[in-house]
Amino acid sequence: MLTAFARAFKTPDLRKKLLFTLGIVVIYRLGAHVPIPGVDYSNVQTCMDVANSSSGLFGLVNMFSGGALLQITVFALGIMPYITASIILQLLTVVIPRLEALKKEGSAGTAKITQYTRYLTVALAILQGTGLVATARTGALFQGCPVASEIVPDQSIFVTVTMVLVMTAGTCVMMWLGELITDRGIGNGMSILMFISIAATFPSALWAIKKQGSLADGWIEFGTVILVGLVMVALVVFVEQAQRRIPVQYAKRMIGRRSYGGTSTYIPLKVNQAGVIPVIFASSLLYIPALVAQFAGGDSQWKVWIDDHLTKGNHPIYIVTYFLLIVFFAFFYVAISFNPEEVADNMKKYGGFIPGIRAGRPTAEYLSYVLNRITWPGSLYLGLIALVPTMALVGFGANQNFPFGGTSILIIVGVGLETVKQIESQLQQRNYEGFLR
């Protein structure tokens, strides 16, 4: 594998792509530490040391921004506006006939949907930036910090608008950098930036676990977490690669003097067909009542109940609700992203059939049956992986953003596998061998 990496850097065009990707990553990480005007960074650093807000309400967004959110930098919003916009457009494609028609138009329709995604990303960035500035001004961004309300000393309209515009511009620059990686680098640009953002939080999270540990000055806890992480990576790789292959046979057809078809292929149905989307959906939905309760005044009974039951990651009601939401959204997302009737119609149109299954409606029913059966273990697997931070919270005293749990490990492994496959395929085109001999 190391030899293949060396060979990749020896190939001129592949070396240029790898170096270009690394250069964009360096620029992105620099932008994650560039301050924005209007923020007192001495107070920010004080609150970062005192409040440990990475385990609070904004932990997920902070993870996707590579720790830039709580430091209120140019890239504070991270890639979350783009992720949210992409998910919304993907859901609306099923609901709005115009978007569904664009999706079927091929590359031209895809380009139009991408344009809509960019517009929606800018709108969401403005909305989220305004919310972040308002949260920082009220002191709710760092709960328990005595100088939290002094993070933004000048609370004038001009300074507020400037901060929002700078963070929105940072999100637009991130979109541009991601598209540059996709066009001229290796892998999907947005996925690479997401990978880097999450990986950047690993060293500090691991070191925090080591400092909080009590056995052998924390090294036993540190080693245990590393071992758990390796086991989880192996498990995630195994499940992410698992798929049910449904055989498809195409009848031979004569068009003019040429013969077409007569080949055998298969439909790969992944065990985890939904990917990391259900975890993001469930986390976002659980954040809504906690966010409303945080900005609600007074000590009403419903606010106290939400604070006690839906904001503490180790509470049984939170655990059960989170798990059930992940299972529900796994089935929901698979239902809207994979249409068995459309697949069956396309197979019938081109003379394809599943051996032993009649074409048309019986094929669609069979695909639905198989998909439902493999979605059950996939959804349960997602729920268990997402609950690892909760177990870490109890076992190691770690925060809810345990480095080897939930969303982070799924994205790290998924993006890593796809990027390695792309490098391997390009190596095979030139040297007829990839990473594995």
Amino acid 157 reads I
Among the residue ranges 37-46, 70-79, 199-208, 312-321, the one predicted with the least confidence is 312-321
Please report the pLDDT score of residue 54 as a whole number. 44
- Report the DSSP beta bridge partners of residue 253: 260
Q: In whole numbers, what is the pLDDT of the chain averaged over residues?
A: 79
Q: What is the pLDDT of residues 296-309, one digit of tens each?
A: 655 667 777 776 66
**Please, which contacts does 429-434 make with residues 24 or more away whose CB atoms are closer than 8 Å?**
430/11, 430/14, 431/7, 433/4, 434/4
- Report the DSSP beta bridge partners of residue 258: 255
CA–CA gap between residue 113 and residue 101 (Å, rounded): 11
pTM of the model as a whole: 0.77
CA angle 14, 20, 23 (to 5 degrees): 145
Among the residue ranges 46-60, 233-247, 352-366, the one predicted with the least confidence is 46-60
Q: pLDDT grade, residue 23 (50/70/90)?
A: very high
Selection from 385, 415, 423, 375 nearest residue 242 by Cα: 375
Please report the pLDDT score of residue 24 as a whole number. 92
Total length of the chain: 437
Statement: residue 56 has pLDDT above 70: no
Q: Is the dihedral of CA 145, 148, 149, 153 positive or negative?
A: positive
Contact 396/213 with Cβ under 8 angstroms? yes
What domains appear along the chain, each with residue ranges and CATH number? 1-200 (1.10.3370.10), 215-404 (1.10.3370.10)
CA 312 to chain centre: 22
User: When comparing pLDDT for 399 and 33, which is higher?
Assistant: 33
Q: What is the pLDDT of residues 340-383, one digit of tens each?
A: 888 888 888 877 888 888 888 888 899 999 999 999 998 898 88
Contact 74/168 with Cβ under 8 angstroms? no
Q: Which residues touch 340 (CB under 8 Å, ≥6 apart)?
A: 363, 364, 365, 367, 368, 371
- As a three-state string, the secondary structure of the chain is CHHHHHHHHHCHHHHHHHHHHHHHHHHHHHHCCCECCCCCHHHHHHHHHHHCHHHCCCHHHHHHCCCCCCCCECCCCCCHHHHHHHHHHHHHHHHCHHHHHHHCCCHHHHHHHHHHHHHHHHHHHHHHHHHHHHHHHHCCCCCCCCCHHHCCCCCCHHHHHHHHHHHHHHHHHHHHHHHHHHHHCCCCHHHHHHHHHHHHCHHHHHHHHHHHCCHHHHHHHHHHHHHHHHHHHHHHHHHHHCEEEEEEEECCEEECCEEECCCEEEEEEECCCCCCHHHHHHHHHHHHHHHHHHHCCCCCHHHHHHHHHCCCCCCHHHHHHHHHHHHHHHHHHHHHHCCHHHHHHHHHHCCEECCCCCCCHHHHHHHHHHHHHHHHHHHHHHHHHHCHHHHHHHHCCCCCCCCCCHHHHHHHHHHHHHHHHHHHHHHHHHHCCCCCC
Selection from 425, 294, 313 nearest residue 14 by Cα: 425
Q: pLDDT grade, residue 169 (50/70/90)?
A: very high
CA–CA gap between residue 273 and residue 379 (Å, rounded): 9
**Measured between alpha carbons, how far is residue 436 from residues 277, 286, 413, 419 in Å?**
30, 42, 18, 15
CA–CA gap between residue 300 and residue 178 (Å, rounded): 45
Quote the crossing angle between the two packed helices 388-395 and 219-241, to the nearest 10°.
170
CA angle 30, 33, 39 (to 5 degrees): 145
User: When comparing pLDDT for 431 and 349, which is higher?
Assistant: 349
Statement: residue 407 has pLDDT above 80: no
Q: pLDDT grade, residue 165 (50/70/90)?
A: very high
Please report the pLDDT score of residue 53 as a whole number. 44
Phi, psi of 119, rounded to the nearest 5 degrees: -60, -45
Please report the pLDDT score of residue 129 as a whole number. 87
End-to-end CA distance of the chain, in Å? 9
